[in-house]
Amino acid sequence: MDFEFDAEQRALAERIRAFAAGRLAPAAADGDRRERLRPGLFAELAAEGLFALRVPVAYGGRAASAVGTGIVLEELAAGDLTVCYPVLNAALVAGVLDANATDAQRARWLPPIARGESIIAVCLTEPGHGSDAANIELRAVPAGDGWRLSGEKTSTMLGEYATHGLVFARTGQAGAHGVTAFFIALDDSRVERARLRDLGSRAGGRATLTFDDVPVGRDDVVGAPGCGFVEVMRGFDYSRALIALMCLGAARAAMDEALAHARHRRAFGQPIGRFQGVSFPLVEHATFLHAARLLAYEALWRKDAGLDHRTEANMAKWWAPKAAVDACHQALLTLGQLGWGEDRPLARRLRDVIGTELADGTANVTKLVVARQLLGRENAP
Ligand SMILES: Cc1cc2nc3c(=O)[nH]c(=O)nc-3n(C[C@H](O)[C@H](O)[C@H](O)COP(=O)(O)OP(=O)(O)OC[C@H]3O[C@@H](n4cnc5c(N)ncnc54)[C@H](O)[C@@H]3O)c2cc1C
């Protein structure tokens, strides 16, 4: 067993940590207030190679491991969790396209992703279908050699910024086997975007996208018709461990601030860290964050090793966001009234990590997956 990153992974973590501290953290409060990622951010992320992580080298990518991708997201999140979403989507969708596309599609789709020219949204959730995503209703009606998409997607992170979407639509029968995945340009007057106002990750541009008779062709299909849910979605199987590391990165930053405050803030003639009522809760949260982080990295390590990682990734996804929310809350309380202030990042971090309790599946949905593994499908909810 080995619980340490290797030299290359340590160097990656240090490089991204410095980038996050220098370029992301200082702008995070402003982005949150303006509800907008700052202009030029995508170009900067591209210059750092952060859209190229899961793109193969042959298509201009870095072919990063799942663990390496987790390291990047954890460190970015310590600066600004919201900035992780475009990097996360590029990594996940590039992997899905690489696994399911034809050579011609790979050559068309992957290089612009690696260069940060295609900003990607994942368009799955609908107003009537979130957890039961296999029952989505956005229609793909046959037209000529292709289809026309009509219907509504909602809760689409980056919906305001995305140039391209991985859009799941119903081409066939009811249920999972009637769903097809399309990778399409969203810069089309027949795609209407409506911004959602959120509690956290306010700069993330979460939006509702309405598709009004949008033409798509056979060349836009990812994998085969009817395989969107049962095949293409499989490529997302480790996303839950990545999101776990995002919220843990943000929580680590919150804890660092709380620990520094506990060392320096004095009450009743001594540093508040000397009160067990202050330091012991911080110890407990540090323990939960540490353990959840090991679980998330184990899932990614298993993914890289070609081992089954569904249980670990889903365990990490229900636990890490809860641990992160609790830790950020405790960190805020440790700072007293200072933590409540808009000029401190703690309140924003708390709002942002709550979003990770919902994104890519709630705790209940991830527990369903684990329960089926532990109990067997016939004995589980
Ligand atoms: C920050 C953020 C980012 C997101 N990004 C995207 C994105 O980019 N693309 C996208 O498509 N979607 C995105 N989503 C949507 C997200 O995937 C959904 O919110 C999530 O899947 C839950 O669906 P729902 O909100 O419709 O809740 P519902 O499915 O309506 O569930 C409501 C409640 O019922 C519970 N529940 C439902 N079914 C069961 C069951 N069988 N057993 C027990 N409990 C159950 C849920 O746990 C939840 O508490 C994002 C959401 C957030 C908050």
Number of domains observed in the structure of the chain: 3
Mean pLDDT of 276-282: 98
Are 259 and 190 within one domain? Answer: no
Are 225 and 125 within one domain? Answer: yes
Nearest atom of ligand 1 to the alpha carbon of 124: 11
Nearest atom of ligand 1 to the alpha carbon of 157: 8
Are 246 and 368 within one domain? Answer: yes
Of the candidates 134, 170, 172, the one whose C-alpha atom is nearest the C-alpha of residue 152 is 170
> Coil, helix or strand for 166?
strand
Are 138 and 267 within one domain? Answer: no
Domain assignment present for 258: yes
What pLDDT is stored for residue 299 in this prediction? Answer: 98
Q: Does the Cβ of 327 fall within 6 Å of ligand 1?
A: no
Residue nearest to atom 19 of ligand 1 (CA): 358
> pLDDT tens for residues 134-144?
999 999 999 99
CATH number of the domain at 335, please.
1.20.140.10
Q: Above 90 in pLDDT, residue 379? A: yes
- 110 with 97: CB under 8 angstroms? yes
Q: Does the Cβ of 366 fall within 6 Å of ligand 1?
A: no
- 235 with 100: CB under 8 angstroms? yes
Name the residue of 360, 369, 370, 372 whose CB sits within 8 Å of the most ligand 1 atoms, as the mutation to test its pocket.
Answer: 360
Tell which phi-psi region holds residue 63, choosing left (phi > 0), alpha (psi between -120 and 50) or beta.
Answer: left
Name the residue of 124, 131, 208, 325 whose CB sits within 8 Å of the most ligand 1 atoms, as the mutation to test its pocket.
Answer: 131
Mean pLDDT of 245-259: 98
CATH number of the domain at 62, please.
1.10.540.10
Burial of 37 per CB tally in 10 Å (0-12, 13-18, 19+): buried
Strand partners, 78: none
Domain assignment present for 1: no
Residue nearest to atom 32 of ligand 1 (CA): 131
Are 196 and 132 within one domain? Answer: yes
What pLDDT is stored for residue 86 in this prediction? Answer: 98
What pLDDT is stored for residue 280 in this prediction? Answer: 98
Of the candidates 74, 94, 122, the one whose C-alpha atom is nearest the C-alpha of residue 241 is 74
Question: Where is the domain boundary, 232, 266, 283?
Answer: 232
Mean pLDDT of 289-317: 98
Question: Where is the domain boundary, 101, 118, 135?
Answer: 118
Q: Does the Cβ of 221 fall within 6 Å of ligand 1?
A: no
Q: Does the Cβ of 88 fall within 6 Å of ligand 1?
A: no
Distance between Cα 359 and ligand 1 center (Å): 7
Are 265 and 309 within one domain? Answer: yes
Buried b (16+ CB within 10 A) or exposed e, 120-129: bbbbbbbeeb
What pLDDT is stored for residue 344 in this prediction? Answer: 86
Mean pLDDT of 245-262: 98
Q: Does the Cβ of 100 fall within 6 Å of ligand 1?
A: no
Mean pLDDT of 150-167: 98
> pLDDT tens for residues 196-234?
999 999 999 999 999 999 999 999 999 999 999 988 998
Q: Does the Cβ of 89 fall within 6 Å of ligand 1?
A: no
pTM of the model: 0.98
> Coil, helix or strand for 360?
coil
> pLDDT tens for residues 9-67?
999 999 999 999 999 999 999 999 999 999 999 999 999 999 999 999 999 999 999 99
> pLDDT tens for residues 256-275?
999 999 999 999 999 999 99
Are 220 and 244 within one domain? Answer: no
Name the residue of 202, 362, 366, 368 whose CB sits within 8 Å of the most ligand 1 atoms, as the mutation to test its pocket.
Answer: 362
Are 223 and 254 within one domain? Answer: no
Are 113 and 168 within one domain? Answer: no
Q: Which two tokens stand for residue 337?
A: 């009234």
Are 194 and 261 within one domain? Answer: no
What pLDDT is stored for residue 57 in this prediction? Answer: 98
CATH number of the domain at 184, please.
2.40.110.10
Are 107 and 173 within one domain? Answer: no
Tell which phi-psi region holds residue 285, choosing left (phi > 0), alpha (psi between -120 and 50) or beta.
Answer: alpha
Task: Supply φ then ψ for residue 214, to 5 degrees.
Answer: -85, 120
What pLDDT is stored for residue 1 in this prediction? Answer: 86
Are 243 and 355 within one domain? Answer: yes
Distance between Cα 44 and ligand 1 center (Å): 31
Distance between Cα 225 and ligand 1 center (Å): 25
Distance between Cα 147 and ligand 1 center (Å): 28
Domain assignment present for 17: yes
Domain assignment present for 109: yes
What pLDDT is stored for residue 92 in this prediction? Answer: 97
What pLDDT is stored for residue 230 in this prediction? Answer: 87
Average pLDDT value for the chain: 97
Residue nearest to atom 44 of ligand 1 (CA): 364
Domain range enclosing 67: 7-118
Question: Where is the domain boundary, 66, 99, 118?
Answer: 118
> Coil, helix or strand for 221?
strand
Name the residue of 206, 358, 369, 370 whose CB sits within 8 Å of the most ligand 1 atoms, as the mutation to test its pocket.
Answer: 358
Q: Above 90 in pLDDT, residue 373? A: yes
What pLDDT is stored for residue 313 in this prediction? Answer: 98
Domain assignment present for 297: yes
Which residue carries 């982005």 as its tokens? 31
Distance between Cα 317 and ligand 1 center (Å): 13
d(CA 120, CA 167): 10
Q: Above 80 in pLDDT, residue 346? A: yes
Domain assignment present for 263: yes
- 44 with 99: CB under 8 angstroms? no
Residue nearest to atom 27 of ligand 1 (CA): 130
Domain assignment present for 129: yes
Domain assignment present for 307: yes
